[in-house]
Amino acid sequence: MKHTVVLLVLVALGALGCDEADEAATPVGTVWLDDVEQPLPQWLSDTGLFADVGTFTPAEGVLTYYPPYPLWSSGADKARLLALPPGAMITLGEDGGFVFPTGTVLVKTFTLEGIEGRRGEDVAVETRLLIKRAAGWAFAVYHWNRENTEAQLIAGDRWPERVLQLEDATGTGRTDTYTVPGELDCRACHETHRQAEPVIGVDPLNFDPDLAPAFEDAPAPVDLPAATPEEAAAMAYIVGNCVHCHHGREKGDNAAFSLMPAVLRANTVNQPTASSASGDGVRVVPGDPEGSAIYEAVVRARDPGYPGDFKPMPPVGIDRVDPDAAAVLSAWILSLEGE
Ligand code: HEC
Ligand code: HEC
């Protein structure tokens, strides 16, 4: 009898155009979150992460957090959740990063303003999951329906990048493209992070004290070693947007070029660029943003028709220049005049 029901569900999903359906064999009375080794359910509401998925209300015991230095993703806003197995805690590892217990689930929902929604307010487009299973970390994405009442698993295993056309809900007729990364993109960013674990935004350098209940011994927030307010703002931007690749450890392309706070000045101010694939230049020329390779890579390299050799930075995950980044980097470089 049970089999008939599962088959009917799969046929219905097939009709909706969902090819790689993972069947959810969750025992009655439990939710997926009770045993994350199970295949992911088709619907976000069946994961047990939310008490009410339609209002984004997390389930009891699931923590909400906000990294002090977030990644900018073309203006999308994000809501983040952390779920640990009962009684389990996050600890500090030997490499200086956090170690997460098996069964940890991290959740990030991307919301956009005025796009593809019924409510004329921020609406969810996708929810990303990072899951620590016995065999290692798994990645997954759920895509929200237009009404924002439910989200469906894109695929439980490997899936390619998806480009969505989103309509403006406020009646301007505008459409925006929105890219949901493929699994390889998730891994490209998350597995080049400087620490053993692929979690980026729950990090001693970027610690939200709201997560203290997840630790036996919660770390104190780290002060950035900045000499001026302009430098503090630049470091904050760089910690959120650059150091998951530029961290100075042997992991990932061009990681040797570290932008970590402690070496930011030493590695940039009056320092020549070192990548064979990018342009020649000086990373930071005090007092001259336009003449600095960092500014060129972050701001000018995204101009259509940009004539130079620098790759736009960050190289993935955004589709336009972060206006705050341009202002913050420019103010910092100007403030260094005379060094
Ligand atoms: C462009 C690089 C990039 C790509 C691609 C990317 N991520 Fe992330 N992700 C980040 C960064 C940086 C953070 C931490 C900062 C933040 O939360 O804003 C993060 C945070 C997260 C978090 C919250 C936990 C954490 O690590 O901080 C989850 C869950 C997550 N990503 C899942 C995914 C999944 C699943 C994919 C693929 C569908 C993906 N990410 C693709 C860069 C990326
Ligand atoms: C997803 C990984 C990734 C992220 C995030 C990233 N970079 Fe890069 N960066 C690279 C790679 C790889 C190269 C070498 C690419 C090339 O030149 O072909 C590079 C090269 C550069 C260069 C030129 C080479 C040099 O020696 O100076 C600069 C400047 C730079 N990055 C700055 C930044 C800044 C600033 C940020 C944050 C806004 C950033 N990057 C974010 C991967 C990354």
Distance CA 222, CA 229 (A): 16
Distance CA 275, CA 257 (A): 9
Measure 181 CA to ligand 1 centroid, in angstroms.
Answer: 10
Could you tell me if 187 and 169 are in contact, meaning their C-beta atoms sit under 8 angstroms apart?
no
What's the burial of 19, exposed, middle or buried (CB within 10 Å: 0-12/13-18/19+)? exposed
Distance CA 83, CA 97 (A): 18
Residue having the nearest C-alpha atom to atom 21 of ligand 1: 108
Beta carbon of 186 within 6 Å of any ligand 1 atom: yes
User: Where do we find the tokens 């459409």?
Assistant: 175
Neighbours of 253 (CB within 10 A): 12
Domain boundaries defined on the chain? 2-214, 229-335
Full pLDDT tens readout for the chain, 339 residues: 333 332 222 222 333 333 334 444 555 567 999 999 999 999 999 999 999 998 889 999 999 999 999 988 877 788 899 999 999 999 999 888 899 999 999 999 998 876 655 445 677 889 999 999 999 999 999 999 888 899 999 875 678 888 887 776 666 676 777 888 899 889 888 988 778 899 999 999 999 999 999 999 888 888 999 999 999 999 999 999 999 989 888 766 666 899 999 999 999 999 999 876 677 899 999 999 999 999 999 999 999 899 988 999 998 878 788 989 999 999 999 999 988
pLDDT at 295: 96
Beta carbon of 280 within 6 Å of any ligand 2 atom: no
Atom of ligand 2 nearest to the CA of 294: 29
pLDDT at 169: 62
pLDDT at 241: 94
pLDDT at 2: 32
**Best residue for ligand 2 mutational test, from 238, 278, 283 (most atoms within 8 Å of Cβ):** 278
Residue having the nearest C-alpha atom to atom 9 of ligand 2: 254
**Best residue for ligand 1 mutational test, from 82, 125, 128 (most atoms within 8 Å of Cβ):** 128
Distance CA 62, CA 49 (A): 7
pLDDT at 159: 81
Measure 186 CA to ligand 1 centroid, in angstroms.
Answer: 7
pLDDT at 75: 76
Atom of ligand 2 nearest to the CA of 252: 12
Could you tell me if 283 and 273 are in contact, meaning their C-beta atoms sit under 8 angstroms apart?
yes
Distance CA 28, CA 94 (A): 40
Beta carbon of 103 within 6 Å of any ligand 1 atom: no
Could you tell me if 68 and 236 are in contact, meaning their C-beta atoms sit under 8 angstroms apart?
yes
**Best residue for ligand 1 mutational test, from 44, 137, 142, 200 (most atoms within 8 Å of Cβ):** 200
Torsion sign, CA atoms 244, 248, 253, 259 = positive
Taking CA atoms, 257 is separated from 1, 249, 337, in Å, by: 60, 9, 23
Measure 313 CA to ligand 2 centroid, in angstroms.
Answer: 5
Beta carbon of 139 within 6 Å of any ligand 1 atom: yes
Q: Which ligand is nearest to the CA of 324?
A: 2
Length of the chain: 339
User: Where do we find the tokens 């990932």?
Assistant: 252
Distance CA 291, CA 270 (A): 11
Distance CA 277, CA 293 (A): 13
Atom of ligand 2 nearest to the CA of 253: 12
Measure 257 CA to ligand 2 centroid, in angstroms.
Answer: 8
Distance CA 36, CA 33 (A): 5
Beta carbon of 138 within 6 Å of any ligand 1 atom: no
Tokens coding 80: 């983040």
Q: Please name the residues in contact with 319: beta carbons below 8 A apart, sequence gap of 6 or more.
A: 74, 177, 179
Distance CA 220, CA 207 (A): 8
Burial call 93-102: b when 16+ CB within 10 Å, e when fewer: eeeebbbbee
Measure 190 CA to ligand 1 centroid, in angstroms.
Answer: 7
**Best residue for ligand 2 mutational test, from 187, 313, 330 (most atoms within 8 Å of Cβ):** 313
